[in-house]
Amino acid sequence: MSESTTATLETATRNEATTKTQSTRLSMQQALNRALDEILSADPRTVVFGEDCGQLGGVFRITDGLQAKHGESRVFDTPLAESGILGMSVGLAMAGFHPIPEVQFDGFAYPAINQIVCQIARMNYRSRGKLPMPITLRVPSFGGIRAPEHHGESLEALFAHVPGLKVVSPSDPHDAYHLLKYAASRPDPVIFMEPKSRYWQKGDVDTSDGGTLTGARIVRPGRHLTLVAWGAMVARCMQVAELAAEDGIDVEVLDLRWLKPIDAQALATSVGKTRRAVVVHEAPLTSGLGAEVAQLITQSCFDTLKAPVERVTGFDVPYPSGDLEDEYIPNIDRILLGIQRVLEYRRG
Amino acid sequence: MSESTTATLETATRNEATTKTQSTRLSMQQALNRALDEILSADPRTVVFGEDCGQLGGVFRITDGLQAKHGESRVFDTPLAESGILGMSVGLAMAGFHPIPEVQFDGFAYPAINQIVCQIARMNYRSRGKLPMPITLRVPSFGGIRAPEHHGESLEALFAHVPGLKVVSPSDPHDAYHLLKYAASRPDPVIFMEPKSRYWQKGDVDTSDGGTLTGARIVRPGRHLTLVAWGAMVARCMQVAELAAEDGIDVEVLDLRWLKPIDAQALATSVGKTRRAVVVHEAPLTSGLGAEVAQLITQSCFDTLKAPVERVTGFDVPYPSGDLEDEYIPNIDRILLGIQRVLEYRRG
Amino acid sequence: MDSFLPAVAAADAAPLASEQLRELYSLMAAVRYLDTSAVAWQRQGIIPGYAPELGQEAAQVGSAYAFDTAHDFAFPTYREMGVARTMGVDMVAYMSTHKATWHGGMYDPLASRLAPIQAVVAGSVLHAVGWAHGQTLSGEPGVALSYFGDGASSQGDVHEAMNFAAVMKAPVVFFIQNNGWAISVPTERQVAGGSVAARAAGYGIPGIQVDGNDVVAVYEATRDAFAHCRAGNGPVVVEAMTYRRGPHSTADDPGRYRSLDDERIDAGKDPLERLRERLLAVGAADDAFFAAAHQAARIEEEAIRTGIEALGPRPGTEMFDFVFQETTPALENQATRWREESEHV
Amino acid sequence: MDSFLPAVAAADAAPLASEQLRELYSLMAAVRYLDTSAVAWQRQGIIPGYAPELGQEAAQVGSAYAFDTAHDFAFPTYREMGVARTMGVDMVAYMSTHKATWHGGMYDPLASRLAPIQAVVAGSVLHAVGWAHGQTLSGEPGVALSYFGDGASSQGDVHEAMNFAAVMKAPVVFFIQNNGWAISVPTERQVAGGSVAARAAGYGIPGIQVDGNDVVAVYEATRDAFAHCRAGNGPVVVEAMTYRRGPHSTADDPGRYRSLDDERIDAGKDPLERLRERLLAVGAADDAFFAAAHQAARIEEEAIRTGIEALGPRPGTEMFDFVFQETTPALENQATRWREESEHV
Ligand SMILES: Cc1ncc(C[n+]2csc(CCOP(=O)(O)OP(=O)(O)O)c2C)c(N)n1
Ligand SMILES: Cc1ncc(C[n+]2csc(CCOP(=O)(O)OP(=O)(O)O)c2C)c(N)n1
Ligand SMILES: [Mg+2]
Ligand SMILES: [Mg+2]
């Protein structure tokens, strides 16, 4: 089965009328927790584990109550070793299970990179399709919560570069619920990057209809410029778009959602229309995923682009301590200035 | 001290006349070995270590004879654990040493990524400049030698994305000799990616004059199109350029050398002149360093570019076994076709 | 050898019958023949490289002989040809990895009960633990057999694996072939304390060193370890003390780090020769048997060589086909471009 | 406590003088006061978070008391406030990390002989080994003191560190504070076999468990360990059995995984109270001393709080300034752009 990228341009207009009747207001934490609960109920081969995922329910409470409900063999704590957690996932998948491991924070995926890159991402290939790796690795990701060192990292460029992995990041509770259920139902490994600064924001979740779950999503249609973002930056870009609208600038906000495979068609369609693009991410600039997004746009829209794609990103510096976080993460002003540079660009 | 990128466009014309008198013909293996020998002699704080680096002289013989000459405390074998090797390097650097560790093959850098990303790259920052990490990590890199799995990987996109690291890859013996001596003399961590398929190719090494060691290098000047490459792909691009010349296409070959920081000025100057560019690398396409190079070019040459920058790269698949290696690594035909696409591009 | 695991009743500890001893010899002969031939194949240009297991036949055949293909699952490194052969894996498919046909080998790992060949040192030890824990979760009786070397024991993953297994009481046999060397580094500069098995106590699990060149001793230790695991007692460490008589791989030159004299002294007696003497001593075999075993090994090697020589390269499309179970549009585009460009040429 | 290391002569094993016992109490009181205050600071919004060490004062003060700042170097985790205080580190600079001013703290690690605060669990254990091996290489007498927890002991890096240290005979004291918990996971589901110290034997190095709530016992064990290392005998493992009386951090809710009753029973007697009783029993201190010690602790805490409150955010340029010793053009461009954009706003 091949994922479709063409029918993905559903706009922000999740039908409000229908939604009302079928939707609940949930935080992303609640939406993810509910999704896991339903996955565990529906698929007896699913196991959920990681550091503090059992009794405590995870440091972010995403697995809250799941051990009590589904039992200690389905939802369990592991010793404190990320390579162990991911390496164990490989073996469980080989035995026919559908592991949903967690690494507690983005920065603690590094000790497991060897197992992720050399084993999880390659076992299907190495075994010529005989040993699929239906592993959904949940990674509380990105910054913005004034946390200690290594608790605010953005690893999407690394993951997206690894053949054999798929990578997705939801930006709101509705997508969080549906994308997690979708990812967990697929036969390939998915890195599921949760924007931890958005865990407690509430939103409407239509549990009965997730819409198209592959590809990108237009969160706000616009005519003058496309803002491409994912994770926590989507909400920030929406704020930016509202501010820009006050100045008569009509910004389209595209939530990329899938960071691998990237929905090149959605980028082409959107920027084909707006003829200008800014890509926003928290990760450092150099060799970040913004380069890939920009290059995909340039490839498809070279003839019509009015200005080079602009990148507004974290700097090429280690993620700083809380006091400097707001200087590091693209803030509203920096994004607005990026938009301005694109709009004011004149061929020399 | 800030590295200069402006004076880097020395052309291929390393003065042949002068070179003759001062240069020796060495393979890259010999050049690297000689460089290490001289570094060890000149700097008593230097230590060279890794798996099989001592008595055996390394599986590629890069450290051949160094233990016998400089003693077992300066050149030594470690137990078989890459995280151990890199973590130990941090402590040695803190104690004032200049470690030159080796990971035996590219793919075995993954077990050490946690120490590289979270420790080596950040200790100077974390300690506010009090604990510099003058570590030169040698990584035999890239493919092309029909080796077992994990022995043909290209990790430059990962390394280049990590704040706090510098990354360099020589393409010939002369640069190998000088860049290694340069890297080992700097106070910041440098990932030194050695193109293992080029270890045994001989070339003239002018040991007395390395020229400019920062930034990129024009290996072949040309007027019609810029081929950007590094490591083993430079020699291949030179072959491509010769073939293209037969068809009257004058290709400029730019050896990027430093993959972090990237010499944006050299890219701008070259493509500003040729108005067309193809970037070539062995690593998978998506989120590869080619995206960054292409985007840097597009940013600086947007007005004059005749076609979108083309990327000819490895595919988004795990590095395959020897029999399929030549299908995976950009070969001459694929690079020529990439050039053709750029030359034939017409605005729609 | 006495059982080191009090939990294991003597019931299963019946000594091997003559027929089984002969079978062990035949297996070791086949493995020896194929192994030394593969080195020759490399010299002849039939395969680009190979990691010989000369001297480790008793450790490999003896341990795999205790394996139950109905239930268990084995996780090899790159040097377990003798294990694969004993388990009955298709040897052309197995050796294909050394012909650079496909990383991991072309045998079906599920049907063979043998994980793909693993080139990352210690890469699969945690997989064994996960697989074993899966047996516990689904109430199945399988035991995971994890192979690794003395060098691999230095990797952090091995520690995490032993600790996870012990905490979860996972049915895993950690089977170390301590062959004295990790490429050029001898065990004494690799394994602090001198014994991987001695580490087991620190995790509260049983560990034993066994004479790895005595195929019967290896078999019995592994059999007991399996029984211990299957009875729900958690993991076991078995360290087979053996010797890598050949080079690390066909690319290696052991003369750079050990002398021929050292080799002769450290290697001890050839494990095949030891079994031959035992068979003769107990009257379980005669010269005709040995001649027949060697002849069978020769014929087998010839068939495998023929298979390997006939093995063509895989179609390039497989590079793309096996990345995912569900491919992606981006990858399909790359496959299409690749196809067009290959045809163009 | 008897010396566990026969190599250490009784020479250095003179019992602590009354003055030293009083000093230990004063240190523990200062640490207790600052620690409990820091939790309050978090509730008051002065700092965003903190990892309390309530109950671990004896383990931290006792071990650091054996440290020689002229030669040695310590490698902390995120919970070693008591170590820093005992070593004489500038406590405003130390606590700044908890104010989110600078990851790692603002003290000078070289002058303090204390590595930056380490947030990766087990992240610095190998650094200690490398630093210690550096002492051997340059013929210096320093010993590395590596702090980590029971949870950290599960990480592969700890195994690699112990093995490297043992193979190289590096002068490292691996000092584990086994405080019963890694966030919500109790030691019995973390440390297979039940003891980190028991792992030492597997590497052929000495290991000991010590009552981590007895400051004198901790001091003596660490002192002996230092002597063992300094005499060239290689590494030592010391496991101080203690209890994390507070939450994992100010963000944690221990009520979700342990009851107050469990806490009361498992925590045992307060380490400060134990030392107080001992001082009284041997007549080394009276109530006036304790009152003065507590008063000094209060005053000290006030000064540190004032310092912390006065601490402003670092200038944003420091994000760029400290990435490298030698900056790069690309990074300079980013710093320039950042400066322009911040001024613009
Ligand atoms: C993680 C990793 N590091 C390094 C290597 C390179 N390498 C391959 S085999 C080997 C030695 C392994 O020694 P041991 O575990 O004793 O197994 P043996 O080769 O003796 O069977 C090394 C260093 C590797 N394959 N994987
Ligand atoms: C590599 C890594 N994984 C996970 C975490 C998250 N984390 C922080 S502290 C902690 C528990 C550590 O337990 P222990 O080592 O016993 O130290 P303690 O907190 O009890 O002092 C965890 C899981 C981390 N900081 N680093
Ligand atoms: Mg070995
Ligand atoms: Mg603890």
pLDDT of residue C65: 98
pLDDT of residue D14: 85
Q: Say yes or no to pLDDT of B223 above 70.
A: yes
Q: Say yes or no to pLDDT of A10 above 50.
A: no
What tens digit of pLDDT does each residue of C155-214 get?
Answer: 999 999 999 999 999 999 999 999 999 999 999 999 999 999 999 999 999 999 999 999
pTM > 0.95: yes
* Residues of chain A that touch chain D, judged by Cβ-Cβ distance less than 8 Å: 51-52, 54-57, 59, 77, 79-81, 83-84, 107-108, 111, 146-151, 285-286, 315-318, 320-325, 327-328, 333-334, 337
* Residues of chain B that touch chain C, judged by Cβ-Cβ distance less than 8 Å: 51-52, 54-57, 59, 77, 79-81, 83-84, 107-108, 111, 146-151, 285-286, 315-318, 320-325, 327-328, 333-334, 337
User: What mean pLDDT comes out for the span B100-108?
Assistant: 98
Residue C343 burial (CB count, 10 A): 7
User: What mean pLDDT comes out for the span D164-181?
Assistant: 98
List the structure tokens of D168.
Answer: 């190289």
Could you give phi then psi for residue D196, rounded to 5 degrees? -70, -35
pLDDT of residue D4: 53
Lowest pLDDT segment from A16-20, A279-283, C188-192, D196-200:
A16-20
In three-state secondary structure terms, A277 is: strand
ipTM: 0.97
Alpha-carbon gap, residue D106 to D89, rounded angstroms: 10
Query: By C-alpha distance, which of D102, B9, D320 is closest to A285?
Result: D320
Beta carbons within 8 Å of B344's beta carbon, 6+ residues apart: none
User: What mean pLDDT comes out for the span B220-233?
Assistant: 98
pLDDT of residue D345: 59
Q: How close, in Å, is residue A285 to chain D by CA atoms?
A: 9
pLDDT of residue B324: 98
- pLDDT classification of D245: cutoffs 50, 70, 90: very high
User: What mean pLDDT comes out for the span B34-40?
Assistant: 98
Domain ranges of chain B: 18-206, 217-343
The strand order across the sheet containing B75-77 reads: B75-77, B46-50, B98-101
> Residue D181's beta-bridge partner residues?
D186
In three-state secondary structure terms, C162 is: helix
Alpha-carbon gap, residue D102 to D93, rounded angstroms: 9
Facing C155 at nearest CB: one of D154, D156, D190: D156
How many contacts, defined by CB atoms under 8 Å, are there between B and C?
Answer: 115
Q: How close, in Å, is residue D198 to chain C by CA atoms?
A: 5
Residue C295 burial (CB count, 10 A): 12
Q: Say yes or no to pLDDT of B17 above 70.
A: no
The strand order across the sheet containing A258-260 reads: A136-141, A190-195, A166-168, A258-260
Q: Which residue of D has its CA nearest to B165?
A: D324
Facing C101 at nearest CB: one of B57, B147, B321: B321
**DSSP 8-state secondary structure symbol assigned to residue A12:** S
- pLDDT classification of C14: cutoffs 50, 70, 90: confident
Query: By C-alpha distance, which of B277, B276, B285 is closest to B313?
Result: B285
Neighbours of ion ligand 3 (CB under 5 A): C 149-151, 179, 182
Handedness of CA D34, D36, D41, D47 (dihedral sign): positive
C-alpha of residue B130 to centroid of ligand 4, in Å = 29
Alpha-carbon gap, residue D125 to B90, rounded angstroms: 10
Beta carbons within 8 Å of B253's beta carbon, 6+ residues apart: B218, B219, B220, B222, B226, B227, B229, B234, B237, B238, B241
- pLDDT classification of D2: cutoffs 50, 70, 90: very low
For the CA of D178, the nearest atom of ligand 2: 16
Fold of B18-206: Rossmann fold (3.40.50)
At residue A194, what is the residue type? E
Query: How many CA atoms lie less than 13 Å away from A12 in the CB half-sphere?
Result: 13
Q: Say yes or no to pLDDT of D251 above 50.
A: yes
- Give the residue, out of D183, D191, D239, D257, with the most ligand 2 atoms within 8 A of its beta carbon, to mutate for a pocket test: D183
Alpha-carbon gap, residue A192 to C235, rounded angstroms: 32
Which chain B positions have a beta carbon within 8 Å of A347's beta carbon?
Answer: 302-303
Query: By C-alpha distance, which of C214, C209, C165 is closest to C187?
Result: C209
Q: Say yes or no to pLDDT of B6 above 60.
A: no
Compute the mean pLDDT over every residue in chain A, rounded to the nearest whole number.
94
Cα separation values, A77 from A44, A84, C163, D209, Å: 18, 12, 13, 26
The strand order across the sheet containing B136-141 reads: B136-141, B190-195, B166-168, B258-260
Contact status, residue D256 vs residue A57, Cβ threshold 8 Å: yes
pLDDT of residue C114: 98
For testing contact with chain A, the best of C77, C120, C157, C324 (most A CBs within 10 A): C324
Query: How many CA atoms lie less than 13 Å away from B310 in the CB half-sphere?
Result: 23
Cα separation values, A342 from A307, A312, A346, D213, Å: 6, 11, 9, 63
Burial letters for B163-178: b for 16+ Cβ neighbours within 10 Å, e otherwise?
bbbbbbbbbbbbbbbb
Q: Say yes or no to pLDDT of A169 above 50.
A: yes
Evaluate whether the domain defined by A217-343 bears CATH number 3.40.640.10.
no
User: What mean pLDDT comes out for the span B288-299?
Assistant: 98
pLDDT of residue B3: 38
What tens digit of pLDDT does each residue of B190-203 get?
Answer: 999 999 999 999 99
- Give the residue, out of C150, C183, C239, with the most ligand 1 atoms within 8 A of its beta carbon, to mutate for a pocket test: C183
Alpha-carbon gap, residue D251 to B226, rounded angstroms: 55
Which chain C positions have a beta carbon within 8 Å of B108's beta carbon?
Answer: 120-121
DSSP string, A111-128: GGHHIIIIIITTHHHHTT
pLDDT of residue C4: 53
Q: Which residue of B has its CA nearest to D142?
A: B95
B174 is catalytic: no
Query: By C-alpha distance, which of B233, B220, B213 is closest to B293?
Result: B233
User: What mean pLDDT comes out for the span D124-142?
Assistant: 98
For chain B, say whether D69 makes contact (Cβ under 8 Å).
Answer: no
pLDDT of residue D5: 56
Domains A18-206 and A217-343 in one fold: yes
Lowest pLDDT segment from C11-15, C33-37, D180-184, D296-300:
C11-15
Query: By C-alpha distance, which of C248, C252, C331, C316 is closest to C101?
Result: C316
- pLDDT classification of C13: cutoffs 50, 70, 90: confident
Choice between C2 and D183, residue whose per-residue pLDDT is larger: D183
**Measuring from each residue's beta carbon to the nearest atom of ligand 2, which residues come in under 6 Å?**
A 51, 80, 104, 108, 111; D 79, 119-121, 149-152, 179, 181-183, 244, 248
